[in-house]
């Protein structure tokens, strides 16, 4: 596919009713969608220090994230849309927020319109990165401001282009305080996959040890050569991952709770890539 040759839309928008009365602030051609989710039950301690167990039939607390985004884009600007992988990553973040080191940053690669960034900022400070293209930084900042009822920790937006050979100095200066890296929906173009995996390798090679979690959806196509439905972009990613030195890569079970409303299809996967040293 020629980049920019046609427009594509995320299938996510038709899965649930994400309609929202709010209007866009960055680009009037955008839309605002409301993504409802339930909060994980928290351990509550009473005044005597005893654990208060939630009642069996108590309803979970529900809240929402309103996101301005595009409804369709060309391939170069798909980060301006919302895709299933970001919701899977958001579920993982909600489930494992207490295990993230208290004083460290979470570094998000290719943050898109900021869904996972906003979820993370409920618990930990975030460095949100992407390529500053197509008003994406304006959209991220506007979405963080729109959801300030949730963003309890600071969010810093920094440009990180996977195609650049050298990491930005601001990123390298903050890396010692980063123990967790997250990314979603970055595997859809082999050239970009090459650059993403190479960037990930550089980030994991800088001490101290850290882990990256990459959420994505396998996209199947039928090819005459294979006479079968295959997921070429996903297979290419696995091949590049296998060649990455000094890391341990393993697929993570996605049987953790689902807090957001979306179809958690079998094609969704989550990978953990850890520094070896």
Supply φ then ψ for residue 240, to 5 degrees: -70, -35
Asked if residue 16 is part of any domain, the answer here is no
- Indicate whether 99 belongs to any domain: yes
Domain of residue 254: give its range. 78-275
Q: How many domains does the chain fold into?
A: 1
Res 142: pLDDT: 98
Spell out, as residue ranges, where the chain has pLDDT lower than 50: 1-4, 43-54
**Does 144 fall in a domain?**
yes
Q: What pLDDT is recorded for position 211?
A: 97
pLDDT of residue 52: 43
Does residue 214 form part of some domain? Answer: yes
For residue 6, the model assigns a pLDDT of 82
pLDDT in tens, 136-148: 999 999 999 999 9
Structural domain contains residue 17:
no
Cα separation, 105 vs 177, whole angstroms: 6
Structure confidence at residue 171 (pLDDT): 96
pLDDT, tens digit, 9 for 90 and up, residues 92-110:
999 999 999 988 999 999 9
C-alpha to C-alpha distances, 33 to 24, 95, 254, 274, nearest whole angstrom: 10, 23, 25, 34
Could you tell me if residue 197 is inside a domain? yes
The answer to the question of residue 40 being in a domain is no
Place of tokens 């301005």: 68
Give this prediction's pTM. Answer: 0.91
160 domain residue, yes or no: yes
Question: What does the alpha-carbon distance between residue 177 and residue 196 come to, in Å, rounded to a whole number?
Answer: 21
pLDDT confidence of residue 1: 37
Q: What is the CATH number of the domain that holds 194?
A: 3.40.50.150
């Amino acid at each position: 596919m020629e980049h920019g040759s046609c427009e594509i839309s995320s299938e996510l928008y038709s899965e649930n009713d994400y309609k929202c009365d709010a209007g866009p602030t960055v680009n009037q051609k955008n839309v605002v969608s409301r993504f409802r989710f339930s909060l994980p039950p928290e351990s509550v301690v009473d005044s005597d220090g005893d654990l208060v167990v939630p009642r069996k039939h108590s309803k979970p607390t529900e809240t929402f994230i309103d996101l301005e985004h595009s409804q369709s884009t060309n391939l170069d600007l798909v980060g301006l849309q919302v895709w299933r992988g970001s919701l899977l990553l958001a579920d993982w973040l909600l489930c494992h927020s207490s295990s993230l080191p208290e004083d460290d940053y979470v570094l998000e690669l290719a943050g898109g319109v900021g869904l996972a960034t906003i979820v993370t900022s409920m618990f930990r400070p975030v460095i949100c990165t992407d390529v500053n293209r197509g008003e994406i930084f304006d959209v991220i900042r506007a979405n963080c401001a729109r959801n300030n009822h949730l963003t309890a920790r600071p969010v810093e937006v920094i440009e990180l282009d996977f195609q650049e050979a050298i990491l930005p100095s601001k990123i390298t200066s903050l890396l010692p305080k980063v123990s967790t890296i997250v990314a979603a929906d970055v595997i859809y173009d082999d050239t970009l996959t090459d650059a993403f995996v190479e960037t990930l390798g550089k980030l994991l090679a800088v001490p101290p040890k850290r882990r990256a979690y990459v959420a994505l959806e396998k996209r199947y196509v039928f090819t005459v050569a294979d006479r079968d439905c295959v997921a070429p972009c996903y297979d290419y990613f696995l091949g590049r991952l296998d060649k990455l030195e000094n890391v341990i890569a393993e697929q993570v079970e996605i049987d953790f709770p689902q807090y957001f409303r979306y179809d958690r299809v079998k094609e969704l996967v989550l990978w953990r890539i850890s520094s070896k040293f």
